[in-house]
Every structure is written in structure tokens, then in C-alpha cells.
Amino acid sequence: MNINGKTQLIGLLGWPVGHSFSPAMHNAAAAALGLNWAYVPLPVRPESLISALGGLAALGFRGANVTVPHKEAVLPYLDAVYPTAQTIGAVNTIVIGDGRLTGFNTDWSGFLADLEEHGLALDGRDCVVLGAGGAARAVVYALLRAGARVAVLARRPEQAEQLAADLREGLPEAAAPRAATLANLAGIMDGAYHPVIINTTPLGMAGAEAASPWPEGVPLPGDAFVYDLVYNPPQTPLMAQAAAAGCHTANGLGMLVNQAAEAFELWTGRQPERAVMRQAVIV
């Protein structure tokens, strides 16, 4: 990569960001298209988020991705938010033009695209979402759009209830999501037929707590499909736990590539090669 005075900058706002595959993926896509763009990690502590957002435009950045824990927190500080991201209540992509920051969400469509690649039919299917943060909001939105029945479980019941209430209001034509705590998990799983279980928490992520979000003592049904948004490491503690129970599993690498390709096009106006992006992050 030859960085010079004409290089266009994009970055990743999060805390932490050292585990992320996004720089390798976006830089490979830019190089394949012959674009003089550079994608850099930007570790930003929560208390520094407002000043960091102001700095992006001041430094001439063309855009940024947003990851944990900032996806919800950035909304009040953007100049505009695309309607889908507003409904979801979370932003993962910022486009900067004329000094204005506009928020988008490509997580939900990237997630749906990956489930389609796995051949999962969602209409009328029971889905259990673990976590209620910004990533969970995009996942629940996608599942509701696809016609699934959704239960959202979080350690803090008020967070799950707020997510469910927001998306009931934003998608009044969809089946209302159910909010519960992890203590209710056994009852929710009882009678669920071929459920899809999605982890949206950072548990199991490289550099974070090496643990599974699935509580001890609650059996994983062997007919479940378990999807972990964590992609580094490639097999998470939850995936290993699910595989031992006979479940089919997938990590979030496909979602990462699909959401990244959409974000890349928003920034550059060019469609990247998804195969190039995926190859850049295969370990």
C-alpha cells in the first residue's frame, strides 16, 4: 500500500479494534480495484467518541465503520441517519461528505445475505437472539423482516425490552419480538422446532472473555442452527459447544464480508469483489 497526499482515508471506530479483520479486507478490496484508499483501525474509548467523530471530518476521512461499543451511541452525534438505521437504532457505517456525517446500517442485510448462503429459510421459524446491543438490533430487524418469530434474551431485561419495543414500533407489520432474560432460556427453548440461535454478544471473541454465552445446564437442541457473529477465532466456545451437541454452526465471517462490501460501495461508489475480501481474512 502506497500512502501519499492523495490517499482517501476510512477507518474503524471501536473499543477494542485489534481483533478486527476489517482493515485487511477493505485494503485488499481497494487494491484490487486500483483505488488509492486506506482503511485504518481507530481505537476509541467510549468517553472519547464525540471528539473522535468530530475529528473524522476535520482530518478528511471519507467514512468509517462503527463497532462495539459505539453502534448505538453514535446516533445523536451524526448529521443524518438513513431511515433503516434509524429504525434499527444502530449504525455500523458512516459516510462523510461536505463535512457531514451520515449513518447507515449494513449489518442487517449482510446478516440476511449470509443466512441465505447457508440455505436457511426463516419465515415462521423460531429464532433466539442472545444479546441486546447494536448488533442484536440489526439481527432482530433482519429476522423480523424475513418473517421469523424472535425471542431476544439479555442479562439486563430492560435492554431486551427496549429493543423489542423499538422494533415493534418500527416494524408494526412484523410479528412482535419477545423480550426475556437468560434465566428464561430453558422455557423458551422447550418446544422450539429447528430453532436458529444467534449470538450477538462479544463473548468468545479473541482478546475478550473466552466463554460461551449459552448458560450451563441448558441443553442445546441437536436440531438447532447456531450462528455466532464472532468470527475471530473461527470456532468460538459457543460453536464448539453447539457442535458437541450435534448442531450445525457458522461464524460471522460471511456477515462481515457482506456488510463490508455494502459499506465499501457506499464510500467509493464501486462494487468490491467479495471473493477478494473473503480471501484477505481467511486464516
Beta bridge partners of 104: 93
Residues near 30 by Cβ (< 8 Å), separated by ≥ 6? Answer: 36, 37, 38, 39, 264, 268, 272
- What Cα–Cα distance (Å) separates residue 61 from each residue in 6, 45, 269? 12, 19, 15
Give Cα 43 distance to the centre of its chain. 17
Residues near 61 by Cβ (< 8 Å), separated by ≥ 6? Answer: 9, 10, 11, 96
Choose the catalytic residue: 71, 125, 137, 149.
71
Indicate if 71 belongs to the active site: yes
DSSP state string for 224-255: -EEEES--SSSS-HHHHHHHHTT-EEEETHHH
Q: Which amino acid is at 153?
A: L
In whole angstroms, give the CA distance from residue 212 to residue 172.
33
Q: What is the dihedral sign for C-alpha 247, 248, 253, 255?
A: negative
The cell numbers describing 46, all together, are: 467510549
Point out the residues that are catalytic. Answer: 71
